[in-house]
Structure formats: C-alpha cells, structure tokens
Amino acid sequence: MCRTLSAFPTTCLERAKEFKTRLGIFLHKSELGSDTGNMVKFEPGSKHSKESRNFSEDVLGWRESFDLLLSSKNGVAAFHAFLKTEFSEENLEFWLACEEFKKIRSAAKLTSRAQRIFEEFVRREAPKEVNIDHETRELTRTNLQATTATCFDVAQGKTRTLMEKDSYPRFLKSPAYQDLAAQASTALAAPCSCSPAEPLHT
C-alpha cells in the first residue's frame, strides 16, 4: 500500500509525475555557458522504480557532502539554480570551467582556453569575476605565462572552499532543497506498490 504526503496525487503514476515536475521547476533555470563544457541539464529518473529510487538517493546524497553534490550532474544543476537566486553563480561556473580545462590535451587549446577563463572570471572587473584575493589573482596571472593544466588550481581551490563554507550550507537549508529532500525521503521510505485504482493513505 502506498504511503505518501496528502498533497501528492491520487495514483502512483501521478505521484511520480508530480515529483518529476517539482524537480524540473526547481532546476529549469540552470543553464551554464559554453565555457563550462556541455550544458548541465536536469536528468530525473524515468518512470521505472529502480531509476526513480536511484534519483531519490542522488538527491539525498547532496546533503552528505559537497563532493557528492559536485559529482552529481543533477546536484550541480540544482546548486547552480540556487546560486543564480543569490547572484553568485560565477563561482560554480568558474569551478566547472577549470574542471573542463584540466581535460584539454592540446597545448595550443590549453593556452587559448586559459586566457578565456582568466578574462571571464579572474581578472579585475571580469564579466563574471570570482571572489578571490589579490595574491591569488596575481599568482594565476603569472601562471598563465607558462600555461599548464594546473595554472588555475589555487584559484579554483579557494573558490571551492568559499562555496563549501558559504553557499552550500544555505543551499541545503533552502526551501526548494528541503522540499526536494522531503519528497525523496518519502519515495524511498514508501515505495509505490499499489495499482492506480487503489487509494493512497497518509
């Protein structure tokens, strides 16, 4: 017998659709620029119970550690959507750009991409200037004189620490994530085993 929140629809299929819709609403504004690699997109589980369960576990995993959040495509998309509400999405976009930068194998591409990242995120009054200290900014500028895959490591690390200590706790306390986590917990605690004709019990 299904046990779920009274606000959920009256069939298991409708409940799953409602859960997916709410997650989609939370994430629909999450669109990252081309410099972060492929656009991060919301990837909810399908109607199949195993995939839905995996997605619920993914959602709950975001609160276990910042590493788990960053390793989840949906987690990154959700966190980015939250940061946009605080007008601080540049920190995550810079971190993602650095992750993609490290994968480049061509020396020529490495140099050109490094300059683009510096101009967009690191230099003073950059369009998406990240919050780093003057010493780190100048160190990064110096590193670009002999570009390597690690030239942004210090700046990326400080930006990550800032997000983990500042934005991440607020994300976990946000009403949007709290609602997501509550629904994910319900889905895991009370997996649907009823037929659409059966009524739900709260």
Residue in this structure with the two tokens 């998406």, named with its chain if needed: 128
| Residue 200 counted as domain residue | no
| Residue 25 counted as domain residue | yes
Beta-bridge partner residues of 57: none
Q: Domain range holding 145?
A: 12-189
| Residue 36 counted as domain residue | yes
With 0.95 as the threshold, say if the pTM is over it.
no
Cα atoms found within 13 Å of the Cα of residue 160, Cβ hemisphere only: 17
Residue 128 has pLDDT above 80, yes or no: yes
Stronger pLDDT, 129 or 45, i.e. the higher one: 129
| Residue 197 counted as domain residue | no
Classify 201 as helix, strand or coil. Answer: strand
| Residue 49 counted as domain residue | yes
Measured distance CA(150)–CA(106) in Å, rounded: 14
Give 31's DSSP letter: -
Residue 42 phi/psi, 5-degree rounding, is -70, 130
Cα-only R_g, the chain = 20
| Residue 110 counted as domain residue | yes
Stronger pLDDT, 120 or 43, i.e. the higher one: 120
pLDDT recorded at residue 200: 44
| Residue 2 counted as domain residue | no
Total domains in the fold of the chain: 1
Q: Which tens digit of pLDDT belongs to each residue from 44-93?
A: 444 446 667 788 899 999 999 999 999 999 999 999 999 999 999 999 99
Measured distance CA(137)–CA(115) in Å, rounded: 13
| Residue 4 counted as domain residue | no
Q: What share of the chain is helix, strand, coil (3-state, %, to 5)?
A: 65, 0, 35
* 136 contacts 152 by C-beta, under 8 angstroms: no
Q: Read off the CATH number of the domain in which 153 is found.
A: 1.10.167.10
